[in-house]
Amino acid sequence: MAGRALTALSEDEALFRDSVYEFADREIRPLVREMDEHAKIPRALIDKLFDLGVMAIEIPETYGGAGATFFHSVLAVEALSRVDPSIAVLVDVQNTLVINALLRWGQEEMKRRYLPRLASNAVGAYALSEAGSGSDAFAMAARAAERDGDWVLRGRKLWITNGNEADIFMVFANINPEAGYRGITAFIVERGADGFTVGKKEDKLGIRASSTCELIFEDCRVPRANVLGEVGKGYKVAIETLNEGRIGIGAQMIGIADGALGHAIKYTKERQQFGKPIAEFQAVQHQLARAATEIAAARLLVYNAARLRDNRRPFLTEAAMCKIFSSEVAERVTSLAVNLFGGYGFVKDYPVEKLYRDAKIGQIYEGTSNLQLQTIAKQLLG
Ligand SMILES: Cc1cc2nc3c(=O)[nH]c(=O)nc-3n(C[C@H](O)[C@H](O)[C@H](O)COP(=O)(O)OP(=O)(O)OC[C@H]3O[C@@H](n4cnc5c(N)ncnc54)[C@H](O)[C@@H]3O)c2cc1C
């Protein structure tokens, strides 16, 4: 689309983004505070997300999905994050990790079994991290061994988003530790499988409504047909899916920042001090202008990475840059919003303290900021 801004949307993209935002404003916003306090997403709301079509954005229509692009997922995550980043991460993991990996690595029979369910009512989760292996994910302790033609999983996963809501879990375990990362294999495990339990849910600083759980596998039998991709190639599934997924986290971060800026603009136009709205003070205007500029720059990085990915062009460095930059922008802009609300910014009656807490996770999951810098530096230094 020569001559157009990178952020220009097609008519279909703009309609989609606007419909997701209108939904979030109408159906999610009234529930945000309660969901944060109770650290829970009502199932009825998840059902509405399925009805809206945002739980199966890239799934082809033949399997019951919307048949749209990765860029649409990015738009949905951004729009939802303006209202509630917890709902956004549920949608993000479903689309940019679970469905994305199934579409790319799943055999036809596996796609026929799982994609229609993911498109209609099943939430997915992506289980790589463990207590002892986060950044060094390939050092995982989870093991899988062959028994009577099936696989048997043993081990524990930690920090798994959607753990409480998911029916379909993508789980990584090593079948041959002597082969190092070349033993890592990806499996699909269903809720209710013998030997599989969802353990403790974490009590968190931010994105509190999103469940983050431990998963426990004690001789959990997984059918041979549930290996995703090739045995011993799970490391590729893990790394390549996360390379794409972190663009979704970038989208979550620009949504958070944009949401906070919107609140700050509205508030500073209303709040009077020294006989006039505080938005009339030049110092405040400059702070708002800087925040808007940073968000625009972050959005360019996120959209660029997403469009490169959809066009099958290299995007690894761009994805790392978009995540680190947009997560830092989200932290700065939400902090500014708290400042501009003054004392009201510090209390839960106003929305900005929550967005400030929610922003922090962007520098941690799907590769910490140090890991993103490592990816960028590797490319720079050859
Ligand atoms: C709310 C939440 C949701 C999550 N959801 C999921 C999920 O759905 N699925 C999943 O698999 N995981 C999930 N995670 C796990 C997340 O991806 C990890 O927490 C993250 O990768 C960091 O791993 P760690 O916590 O073990 O930290 P560590 O790897 O121990 O890192 C600690 C610190 O050391 C630094 N560090 C580590 N190695 C290096 C290095 N080589 N060079 C420089 N600095 C380094 C890190 O940058 C960090 O600052 C989630 C985590 C949270 C908190």
DSSP 8-state code for residue 276 = E
List residues bridging with 169 in a β-sheet: 125, 189
Would you state the pLDDT for residue 112? 98
pLDDT of amino acid 3: 75
pLDDT in tens, 109-153: 999 999 999 999 999 999 999 999 999 999 999 999 999 999 999
How far lies 21's CA from each of 45, 259, 302, 350, 362, in Å? Answer: 15, 11, 18, 20, 21
- The whole-angstrom separation of Cα 179 and Cα 183 is 5
| Ligand 1 pocket by Cβ (under 6 Å) | 93, 126-129, 134-135, 159-161, 204, 207, 212, 361, 364-366, 368, 370-371
What integer is the mean pLDDT of 294-311? Answer: 98
Q: What confidence tier does 4 reach under pLDDT thresholds 50, 70, 90? A: confident
228, 252 Cβ separation under 8 angstroms: no
Q: Which one, of 187, 208, 218, lies nearest residue 98 by Cα?
A: 187
51 CA to centre of ligand 1 in angstroms: 33
Mutate to test the pocket of ligand 1, among 368, 370, 375 (most ligand atoms within 8 A of CB): 368
Catalytic-residue membership of 190: no
Are the beta carbons of 177 and 228 closer than 8 angstroms? no
pLDDT at 102: 98
Which of 129, 160, 170, 363 maximizes ligand 1 atoms within 8 Å of its Cβ, making it the mutation to test the pocket? 129
Distance (Å, rounded) from C-alpha 157 to C-alpha 142? 8
Q: What is the maximal distance between C-alpha atoms in the chain? A: 79
**Mean pLDDT, all residues of the chain:** 97
User: Looking at the predicted structure, is the pLDDT value of residue 185 above 80?
Assistant: yes
Q: What is the H or E stretch that residue 18 is in?
A: helix 11-23
Give residue 136's identity as a one-letter amino acid code. D
pLDDT(381) > 90: yes
In terms of Cα–Cα distance, which of 210, 70, 135, 107 is closest to 373? 135
The predicted pLDDT at position 2 comes to 64
For 169, the token pair is: 């879990």
State the pLDDT confidence band at 1, using cuts at 50, 70 and 90.
Answer: low
